[in-house]
Amino acid sequence: MKVASIIAEFNPFHNGHMYLVNEVREKCRADYVVAFMSGDFVQRGAPAVCDKFLRAEIAVKCGVDAVFELPVVYASSAAPDFAFGGVSLVNGLGCSDLLAFGSECGDLEALKKASDLLSDETPEFKAELTAALRSGLSYPSAVSKAASAFAPEVSDILATPNNTLGIEYLKALKKTGSVVSPFTLKRHISSHDGTLPLTDSNTGLSYTGASYIRKHMLAYEKQNELSKCIPDAAAELIRKNLSKQLPVSENDFTLPLSLLLSSMSEEEINALPGNADTKAKLKKYRGEFLSFEELKNRIKDKSMTETAAGRLLIHALLKIKDKDTDRVTGASYLRLLAMNRSASPLLKKIKETAVLPLITKMADFDSDSCPMLKKDIYASDLYCKVVKEKFGISFKNDIIRSPFIN
């Protein structure tokens, strides 16, 4: 049995994801493809466009064999923690042969070279990085600039988001002493931001980034265009739930964020992940009733990307402190969100090999003894309450929900 793992958001699932799953299955001769997916809040510092169970259902209906949740303390964090959390789950499976990911360059050796440079930082590199940060550059830009002084080709690689995330996966595999092999696939046709869908002349399928799909999801005139960028099974479920339980946006969380910030002490804000200057801005503006987006734009500056500012607000919303993110051992459990019935031999194998507790039924697991899981439950319940208020649907408590079985 050969098992391939993918760390993803599927926000939402599109043709690029389908391409990765199919290519990994074919080129790596994988019997099963397992995804470790962000829950209801994602790495770009925002809520997911729809809840984790619906996104997991879409994924298994589009060819993924099983979907497990990436705990929110990692899913809502910057690339190093996001990658480390995901890799700890891949390792925790105990039977994963490879970790597959898309990259702009598609060159594993080049990514490994960059990973080695960043994993074994020399005093000279650290000095360049510090100088770049002090000049006002954001951390990703500062790393790219520092790398250019030692390996210009690495600097170019660091300029794009999927390459950067791939490097973090390689660093995490090395840090954990993982026996899982990395495999990268060059992103197919579209850029990450996907300004416009591009069509593959061989297949007739269109490709764009998830951000483009989210941005135009409610635009009637874009529906035909978007349907060509999403697998049929995904498009059907999205259409069925459009304006009924999706899309969810950051501004839907304005009220709970404002209420939470007004009740937080300065010590609690100081305990959030992030730099002191940004947290000082958060203290300054939290008393104003600003939308999530407006507050995010107030606290960001040239040294902090918009995404990083969004992550700080999500961490405040979810009461995630810097100490909540385990950077030594990683994730505490494997929580199944969805699977295909045909993958039952895989689940049997995981039960034999997993080095982390496997959760298939929340009622059978003592969530009170697991702080990381309690954060997931809190995040999911908050998300579902906001969705209930926005769309008028019933509230679904996270602790009683069962995995979707296709």
Name which residue leads in pLDDT, 12 or 303.
Answer: 12
| pLDDT average, residue stretch 153-172 | 89
Output the six-digit token pair for 154. 């690495």
The residues, any chain, with a CB within 8 Å of residue 129's CB and separated by 6 or more, are 121, 142, 143, 146
**Is residue 191 very low, low, confident or very high in pLDDT (cuts 50, 70, 90)?**
low
Output the six-digit token pair for 60. 């298994």
Structural domain spans, the chain: 3-104+184-191+229-244+330-405, 110-151, 250-324
The amino acid at 396: K
Scanning the structure block, which residue is given the tokens 């995040």? Answer: 379
pLDDT of residue 388: 96
**Is residue 147 very low, low, confident or very high in pLDDT (cuts 50, 70, 90)?**
confident
Task: Calculate what percentage of the chain has a pLDDT beyond 70.
Answer: 98
CATH topology of domain 3-104+184-191+229-244+330-405: Rossmann fold (3.40.50)
Rounded-to-integer distance, Cα 311 and Cα 239, Å: 29
Which ranges constitute the DSSP H helices of 50-122? 52-61, 72-75, 79-93, 108-119
Cα angle for residues 80, 58, 330 (degrees, 5° grid): 25
Rg from Cα positions in the chain: 20
Q: State the pairing for strand pair 46-47/3-8.
A: unpaired
pLDDT tens, 253-311? 999 999 999 999 999 999 998 888 889 999 999 999 999 999 999 998 877 788 999 99
Q: Average per-residue pLDDT in the chain? A: 92
pLDDT higher than threshold 70 for residue 240? yes
